[in-house]
Structure 1
Amino acid sequence: MSMPHPARIHGAQPALRWLIPSLFALGAHAALAQSAVTLYGVADDGIAYVNNSLGASRTYLRAGNLSTSKFGLLGTEDLGGGLKALFQLEAGFDMNTGANSTSGLLFNRQAFVGLKSDRAGQLTLGRQYTPYYLFLGPYTGSNWLTGATGAHPGDIDGLDSSFRINNSVSYVSPTIAGVTASAQYGVGGIAGSIERGQSLSAAVRYAAGPIGIAAGYLKMYNTELASGFDSASTASIPTSAVNAGYVSARSIQHFAVAGNYTIGDLVLGLNYSNVRYAPGGRSLFKDTAIFNTYSGLASYNFTPAFSLGAGYSYTLASKANGIRSAARYHQVSLKEAYNLSKRTTLYALQAYTHANGQTLGAKGAAQIIDAAALAGDSQNSTPSSTSNQVAVIVGMTVRF
């Protein structure tokens, strides 16, 4: 097809000369209007005091308390007919050093791409949180009291944002009559075995009016290439004094139920979780280790700016692997928050944890030790040398 000679365009009527560039501008504007990329994040830092951190009191700056310090990019493109393409890239960082939260990982928190349909739901691929956490976490102390001091000791049940799954495919259904469901599969990718290194998760949630309740399941398989929970596995898990003796497990299974009931400015919540560390050929223990956690919480907005939250949790471990007195963890958590604006909040957090009984040390069944206290998941690597630990954090967070 031959193109019109430039002279013919320039010689066209004045209205046509105006219309041609206007159409190009209109088309470019429409293309831009159909897609959007948002930069977002949180900057959070505070002063922390711990009465016993590996045997001594400690005062230090701790980032990511009320909310994890992070930044990310969220993008969507409208493909028409109720279908959108989307992506999310999210990185955590330490406010006090500028370092990545996880060494060697740029987008350590999330990195995925996918499609979302108004009628069919959402399908995404990449490094993602589990349906177990995404559906249950908002109803637990990790949300209402913060993960730093409100998560159950060591985040043993993964209801804080500790677990992420690499190489995962996730699906979230549309919400029908208040019910939403989700499933995820982490592809192990180990030659000769589908099971090794894979992860499975599913959850369902009902939310309508003052009631919100969710149930979820998560099972993470080790690659069993070494005695620990290998980095080649799709799941990344935290290690603390609570689970250090069991991270060589062949698989780790979680099941939990959580719910909230809202009465005006008051939110009440209950949750239960069951965690099982199953041994394998390279494990440093021989009997399945079980942790059951029961907890309750309350949060009240005294004014639009000021809120207070409180919670209690009780975690009971099993007696297996030569342990005569099972480990028990009692934890009380408090949170006070004052919003200076919609984006800026001053906060104070407190937690007291008491531990008794026995557990396994890092050497597994060959090292039976007294259970150590640690507040939430803020002291995973620095538990108390006694059965009690108190943590107090005062800080500020700014969202953008």
Structure 2
Amino acid sequence: MKKNMRVTVLTHLSGLLAIAGVVPAGNAQSSVTLYGVADTFLEYSNHLRTAAGAASEGGSRVRLNSGGLAGSRWGLRGVEDLGGGVQAVFALESGFNIDAGTMGEAGRLFNRQAFMGLNTKGFGRLTFGRQYTSMFDLLPLFMPLTYAGAYEPMPFLMSPLRVDNAVKYRIERGPLAAQAHYGFGEQVGSWQGNASWGGGASYISGDLGLAAVYDQANGQDTATGSGRMRKVAVAATYAPGAWRLTAGYRWAEETIASGERKHRDDMWWAGVGYRLTPAFQMNAAFYYDDIKATDGSASPPNPRQYVLQGVYAVSKRTDLYGAVAYVRNAGLNFAALATLAPGARSQTGVALGIRHKF
């Protein structure tokens, strides 16, 4: 198979469609690309909660996992030139667990992305369907590990990652990229119930990059109101020569339908990366979350996580990687303490894996 398994349709598609009575005869140029990522890793972790009634209250585990650098997936991307600098585009992307061959989300085939829309030259892109939030799209270059599952607490940082029934607009002009999205909640009798929206911008020029973004997700609209989760993030990156420095801050607040605060926290992160050789990259990352008590009691201990990661490019498509993480006052990737053995307040993880892009 070729590198991207690109299937280019250079035949007169419009002529074939004209026979079917769909469009007038003419020339149309289209392409469909099959792409994907296969990523698996061996992982050791400790202080895990065991089943009720077990002889020990907690222990370590070695397992085969999926998605250490990037989530395993396959997808289809398509584009058709409509003329006048306008293109019709679509994407269908399905996540899977390569360790077990299961779907990334049961019952949802294209769980990662499913959208179509129009892309214009100079006027941006407008798409419709299941799509990533603005926060997800604008921050990957500003994160120390670029959303690596082992071990960047990305879901904690920006959940939800994707929105159903969404309209998204994105425009790029030189070093500036800006976008906004709105997800229809589709609740009968309420525009705001279950709806979500957000937007932001990034500026990357030379060695320096800056980003700012806002996301909001509403709960169901009830007689007492609608709960909501709001998040704001600002971040910066500086990459002189072989070095790459990243830092950022995320504010979050969750309220229930009555308007009472349910959760409030401030998350910080910083990272240092260095390319030792053209094929070998080392990254170090630190994440810290300042959790605010919402009921007048003392705030819980704040979680913090340290990560050291190495990535070696065997080829343009295949990488070998390793990562070591230590987290205090949480489980790995800021998982709740309830996932750990009773009395445990820290966890260590070690991952060795391989990623192949096709």
CA positional deviation for 1:138? 2.3
Instruction: Tell me which amino acid in the other structure corresponds to 1:111.
Output: A
The question of whether the paired residues in 1 share the 8 Å contact of 2:337 and 2:345 is answered with no
Tell me, in whole angstroms, the C-alpha distance in 2 between the residues paired with 1:112 and 1:381. 37
Q: What CA deviation, in whole Å up to 9, does each residue of 1:333-360 have, x standing for no partner?
A: 11111111011111101111001xxxxx
Work out whether residues 169 and 179 of structure 2, in 8 Å CA contact, stay in contact via their aligned partners in 1: yes
> How many residue pairs get matched?
327
1:40 paired to 2:35: yes
C-alpha change, 1:26 and 1:189, in structure 2 (3 Å) is closer
Query: What does 1:75-86 align with in structure 2 at a 5 Å threshold?
Result: 75-86=78-89
Contact 1:142 1:151 in 2 (8 A): no
> 1:132, 1:112 → 2: CA distance?
18
2:357: which partner in 1?
399
* Aligned partner of 2:198 among 201, 220, 224: 201
Q: Which residue of 2 aligns with 1:175?
A: 173
Q: Judge conservation of contact 2:44–2:63 (CA < 8 Å) in 1.
A: yes
Map of 1:3 onto structure 2 = none
Distance 2:338 2:275 in 1: 33
Q: Gapped runs of 5+ residues in structure 1?
A: 1-24, 226-248, 356-372
Q: CA deviation at 1:322?
A: 4.5
Alpha-carbon distance in structure 2 between the residues aligned to 1:33 and 1:344: 35
Q: Provide Cα deviations, 1:75-130, integer angstroms capped at 9, x if missing partner.
A: 00011111110000000001122111111100000000000001210000000001
Cα-to-partner distance string for 1:166-211 (whole Å, 9 max, x where unaligned): 00000002315x2221010001111111111000110111111111
> Residues 158 and 316 of structure 1: is their aligned pair in 2 closer, same or farther, counting only changes over 3 Å?
same
The answer to whether the 8 Å contact 1:141/1:147 transfers is no
Give secondary structure in 2 for the equivalent of 1:141: coil
One-letter code of the match for 1:156?
Answer: F
- Distance 1:270-1:26 versus aligned 2 partners, 3 A rule: closer
Per-residue deviation at 1:218? 0.3
Are 1:255 and 2:232 matched, yes or no? yes
One of 97, 110, 113 as aligned partner of 1:110 = 113
1:130-145 alignment runs, 5 A limit: 130-143=133-146
Distance 1:378 1:320 in 2: 19
Structure 2 CA distance for aligned equivalents of residues 380 and 68 of structure 1: 24
Pairing partner for 1:335 from 300, 309, 326: 309
- Determine the C-alpha separation between the residues in 2 that align with 1:32 and 1:301: 47
2:189 and 2:128 mapped to 1: Cα distance? 23
On the 8 A contact 2:192/2:221 being kept in 1, the answer is no
Identify which of 162, 165, 181 aligns with 2:163: 165
Question: Deviation digits for residues 242-267 of structure 1, max 9, x if unmatched?
Answer: xxxxxxx8111110011111111110
Give the one of 56, 63, 66 matched to 1:63.
66
- Residue matched to 1:366: none
Partner SS for 2:247 = strand
Letter in 2 for 1:374: G
Q: Secondary structure at the match of 1:376?
A: helix
The structure 2 residue matched to 1:214, chosen from 211, 215, 219, is 211
> Alpha carbons of 1:380 and 1:210: their partners in 2 closer, same or farther (altered >3 Å)?
farther
For residue 328 of structure 1, give the secondary structure of its aligned residue in structure 2: coil
CA contact (8 A) 1:147 1:377 kept: no
Match of 1:303 among 270, 274, 277: 277
Q: Calculate the TM-score normalised by the size of structure 2.
A: 0.85
| Cα 1:381/1:46, change in 2 over 3 Å | farther
Matched-pair contact (CA < 8 Å) for 1:149–1:377: no
**1:220 deviation in Å?**
0.1
Residue identity in the other structure for 1:127: R
* 1:313 aligned partner: 287
Structure 2 regions of 5+ residues with no counterpart?
1-9, 16-25, 50-57
Q: Which residue in the other structure is 1:146 paired with?
A: 148
Distance 1:380 1:344 in 2: 35
User: TM-score of the superposition, structure 1-length normalised?
Assistant: 0.77
- Name the larger-Rg structure: 1
Give the structure 1 partner of residue 5 of structure 2: none
Distance in 2, matches of 1:172 and 1:67, equals: 23
Q: What residue number does 1:376 align with? A: 333
Find the counterpart in structure 2 of residue 50 from structure 1: 45
